[in-house]
Structure 1
Amino acid sequence: MNELSVTRLIAAPPAKVWDALVNRTNEWWCPVPWRAEVDWGERRAGAATHTVMYGPDGEVHQHPGLILAWDEGRRVASTDSIVGDLEPNTPFMIGIWEIAPEGDGTRYTARARHWSVEAMEQHREMGFEQGWNACTDQLQALCER
C-alpha cells in the first residue's frame, strides 16, 4: 500500500480529541504560518467537504473533496479524487484520521493513501513528515490544554 502516516499518543480522552479533530479543525489543520478553513459539510459518507489553505505570502489553495467515511467518535476519511456531483478529479490521496482509546489517553493516527508510489513519493518530498507532524503537534497541544 502506498501509505504515509503519523501516529501519536495524546494525553486526553477520546471525546476531547474527537471534538478537536472535527469541531476545531481550523485551529490545527495547517502548520503555522499557514492556516486552513475546513468545511466538513454534512458529516456523513458521500457528503462534499471543502478546505481552503492560506499561505503566509498570500497563497490560496482550494481543496474540494468527498467524505468517504464518517464514523462518529472514531474515524473520518476523505478524498480529492471525487468532487462536485460525483465528478472525477485528478486524484492525489485518501486521507484517514482515526482515534482510539489507549490507556489513559487517545491514539491518534493520520494516514495518507496514494494511488501510486510516485504520488506517495511526491507527497513525501512536499514535506509530508514535517507538515503532518506539525499539524499533529498542534492537535496534541489543543487537546492537552
Structure 2
Amino acid sequence: MKISTKGRYGLTIMMELAAKYGEGPQSLKSIAERNSLSEHYLEQLVAPLRNAGLVKSIRGAYGGYVLSKEPEQITSGDVIRILEGPISPVDFTEEDDPAKRDLWLRIRDAIANVLDSTTLADLIAYQGEREQDSYMFYI
C-alpha cells in the first residue's frame, strides 16, 4: 500500500490543526503557505474530513478550520481511511495461496495497528521532539 499525496497532505492539515488546537480557526491559506502546498488542493482534501466529522469549518473574516475533537481522539488511521480508503497492501481473492493470504493479512493488520495507535497528539509530540533534537552548533 502506497500512501498518496491525499493521505500525506491530509495528515499535514490535521497536524497543523492539532498544533493550533484551542487557538481558534486556521485558514487553509496559512496552512498551505507554511507547508509550501497548493491551497486549492488542500480545499479538496478538507471536504471529506469535514464530511466525516473530523474538522469543522467556521465562516467569516477570521474563519477557517478547527478539529472537531481533541488531538488525542483522532488517529492517523482515521485520516488515512477517509482520504485513501481501506488499508490493504494488495487485492487478493479467495483463490490465493493461503500462506500468501496470511502474510498479506498480517501486513495489513500491522499497518492498521500503527496507524490506529498513533494519534494527532502523538505526531505533534514527535514533531516537537525532532525539532528539539536538531540543534545547530557553531565552532
- Give TM-score scaled by structure 1 length: 0.25
Larger radius of gyration: 2
More helix by share: 2
- Give TM-score scaled by structure 2 length: 0.26
More strand by share: 1
